[in-house]
């Protein structure tokens, strides 16, 4: 009987699923047992319960706001709500209703802040830019990989490249944008080294496509030399 993974796992169980399904990982890394999954599931369940508590406290904080609260107080609370939204993307199970509730609270606070900014065009422009940035960030969080990368306890740094190459093209491309050009250059070099170690076959072909996609997504000044044989060379 195979390993049983949840349909909507949390960050810890999701990482074990990556190990089990990504053939680029060493065999010993892919040797996941049900007890490993069960332990990860306990961690994810604990995080979900802790999140529920923090969400209730945040809702109460919004209820307790004074009618004419200082904008700094409002923005501090709004930042906490943004953090909770980001955290919700790492949780196991359904989170759509929680995310919708968080966005309603954020919008209520932003409405008050915009009202307080009055006719100040510069302030209003900054608030509008912040709204746009939040929307983009939430779109990114729809990829579980992004939510897990934004944590510092799920994906080890020395496994970033293998993890990226094992993801879908859309998720891989979205995650690539999180890194600056120097980080991308280093990771691309690691990816090329990994690619050279693979035998010819479907796994190497798929990985080569990912590597080429990452190379194309880099700023031109940071591109490794690309020879005419269709393969990347360091």
Please indicate, yes or no, whether residues 131 and 203 belong to a single structural domain of this protein. no
Q: What is the DSSP letter of 89?
A: T
Closest alpha carbon to 116 in 165, 168, 78: 78
Please indicate, yes or no, whether residues 138 and 174 belong to a single structural domain of this protein. no
> Is this structure's pTM higher than 0.95?
no
Q: What is the mean pLDDT of each run of 10 residues along the chain (234 residues)?
A: 90 97 95 97 98 97 89 93 98 97 95 87 90 95 97 95 94 93 94 94 94 88 47 36
Please indicate, yes or no, whether residues 122 and 17 belong to a single structural domain of this protein. yes
Please indicate, yes or no, whether residues 95 and 178 belong to a single structural domain of this protein. no
Q: Show the domain range for 181.
A: 157-222
Q: Is residue 227 part of a domain?
A: no
Task: Give me 192's structure tokens.
Answer: 């090329």
Helix axes 96-117, 71-88, angle to 10 degrees: 160
Q: Where does a domain end: 149, 177, 204?
A: 149
Please indicate, yes or no, whether residues 22 and 117 belong to a single structural domain of this protein. yes
Q: Is residue 73 part of a domain?
A: yes
One DSSP character per residue, 122-147 reads HHHHHHHHHHHHHHHHHHHHTSHHHH
pLDDT of res. 231: 39
Please indicate, yes or no, whether residues 167 and 141 belong to a single structural domain of this protein. no
Please indicate, yes or no, whether residues 80 and 129 belong to a single structural domain of this protein. yes
Q: CB atoms < 10 A from the CB of 167, how many?
A: 18
pLDDT of res. 219: 75
Q: Is residue 35 part of a domain?
A: yes
First to last CA, the chain: 44
Q: Is residue 232 part of a domain?
A: no
Please indicate, yes or no, whether residues 18 and 112 belong to a single structural domain of this protein. yes
Q: Where does a domain end: 123, 149, 175?
A: 149
Please indicate, yes or no, whether residues 107 and 72 belong to a single structural domain of this protein. yes
The count of structural domains within the chain is 2
Q: Where does a domain end: 115, 149, 183?
A: 149
Please indicate, yes or no, whether residues 184 and 215 belong to a single structural domain of this protein. yes
Q: Is residue 6 part of a domain?
A: no
Please indicate, yes or no, whether residues 93 and 180 belong to a single structural domain of this protein. no
Please indicate, yes or no, whether residues 181 and 207 belong to a single structural domain of this protein. yes
pLDDT of res. 221: 60
Q: CB atoms < 10 A from the CB of 209, how many?
A: 12
pLDDT of res. 1: 55
């Amino acid at each position: 009987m195979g390993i049983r993974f949840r349909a909507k796992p949390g960050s810890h169980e999701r990482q074990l699923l990556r190990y089990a399904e990504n053939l680029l990982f060493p065999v010993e890394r892919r040797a996941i047992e049900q007890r490993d999954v069960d332990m990860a599931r306990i961690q994810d369940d604990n995080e979900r319960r802790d999140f529920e508590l923090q969400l209730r406290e945040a809702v109460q904080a919004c209820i307790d706001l004074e009618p004419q609260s200082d904008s700094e107080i409002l923005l501090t609370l709004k930042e906490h709500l943004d953090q909770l939204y980001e955290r919700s993307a790492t949780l196991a199970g359904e989170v759509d209703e929680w995310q919708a509730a968080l966005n309603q609270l954020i919008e209520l606070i932003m409405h008050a802040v915009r009202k307080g900014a009055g006719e100040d065009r510069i302030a209003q422009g900054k608030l509008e830019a912040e709204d746009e940035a939040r929307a983009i960030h939430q779109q990114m969080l729809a990829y579980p990989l992004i939510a897990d990368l934004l944590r510092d306890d799920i994906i080890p740094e020395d496994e970033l490249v293998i993890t990226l190459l094992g993801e879908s093209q859309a998720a891989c491309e979205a995650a690539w944008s999180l890194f600056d050009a120097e980080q991308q250059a280093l990771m691309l070099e690691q990816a090329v080294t990994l690619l050279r170690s693979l035998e010819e076959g479907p796994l190497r072909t798929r990985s080569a496509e990912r590597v080429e996609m990452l190379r194309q997504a880099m700023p031109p000044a940071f591109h490794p030399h690309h020879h005419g044989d269709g393969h990347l060379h360091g």
